[in-house]
Structure 1
Amino acid sequence: MSAPLVVSIPHRLGREEAARRLKTGLTRAATNVPMLKVDEERWDGDRMIFRVRAMGQAASGHVDVAEDHVTVEVVLPWLLQRFAEVAQAAIKSRGNLLLTKKS
């Protein structure tokens, strides 16, 4: 198993508002990426556990929501490891949009 990809995204929303935005965010974000399909998204307190599929490969991970930041941890299959930097930038970019845009 490969090392997880970890992205930390700071925010000023507080835990509750950040979680509210994220609860609608993953599926909506996936619709903007045609080759990404959400297989699982479930919440356990302030942690979202997810599994997504891209290019026939499954990736799984979780999102932890804290008062001032969100941590995303994703385990990519070896075939998607070469896209780790691109995935990291995309996660950070979409996360920043979701957590900073006024709703």
Structure 2
Amino acid sequence: MAKPLVVVIPHQLGRVEARRRLDSGMGQAKDMLHKAGLTMADATWTGDRLSFLVGAMNQKVDGDIDVEEDCVRVEVRMPLLLSLFAGKVQKILDQNGTKLLAKK
């Protein structure tokens, strides 16, 4: 297993609103993954932590999203083979996460 990929996305929404936006964006995230040939097998909230499991290239990728008062911390654990794509994954998480959590 490769070193986990961690992305921290700051926000000014507060914990409740950030969690609500993440929760409402799950359908869009699943659609985006499906278009890329990936499947989200499981996504479960436990308090303010969303744990997920994604299938990619016959590999499993799991991770957690922790919602804090002023940031969201995403940790993705990938097999070594998929860790080659960590830079792309980080960029996508950062861009889409920032867009979703932008104060409106």
List structure 1 segments (4+ residues) > 6 angstroms apart after TM superposition.
none
* Structural mapping, 1:24-35, within 5 Å: 24-33=24-33, 34=35, 35=37
Mapped to 2, the partners of 1:85 and 1:55 lie a distance apart of 17
* Structural mapping, 1:2-41, within 5 Å: 2-33=2-33, 34=35, 35-41=37-43
* Aligned partner letter, 1:57: Q
User: For each residue in 1:49-99, what CA deviation from the matched residue of structure 2 results, as whole angstroms up to 9, or x when unmatched?
Assistant: 100112222100100000000000000111111100000101111101111
User: For each residue in 1:18-37, what CA deviation from the matched residue of structure 2 results, as whole angstroms up to 9, or x when unmatched?
Assistant: 00011122331231241221
How many Å apart are 1:101 and its aligned residue?
6.1
Indicate which of 74, 79, 82 corresponds to 1:80.
82
**Number of aligned pairs?**
102
Indicate which of 92, 98, 102 corresponds to 1:90.
92
Q: Give unmatched runs, 5+ long, in structure 1.
A: none
* Aligned partner letter, 1:78: L
TM-score between both structures, scaled by the size of structure 1: 0.91
Could you tell me the percent identity over the aligned residues? 47
Does the aligned pair in 1 maintain the 2:11–2:103 contact within 8 Å?
no
C-alpha spacing 1:27/1:77, structure 2 compared with 1 (3 Å): farther
* Aligned partner letter, 2:59: Q
Does the aligned pair in 1 maintain the 2:5–2:76 contact within 8 Å?
yes
TM-score between both structures, scaled by the size of structure 2: 0.91
1:66 aligns with 2:68: yes
Mapped to 2, the partners of 1:13 and 1:88 lie a distance apart of 22
Mapped to 2, the partners of 1:85 and 1:79 lie a distance apart of 13
Instruction: Give 3-state SS (helix, strand or coil) of 1:97's partner.
Output: helix
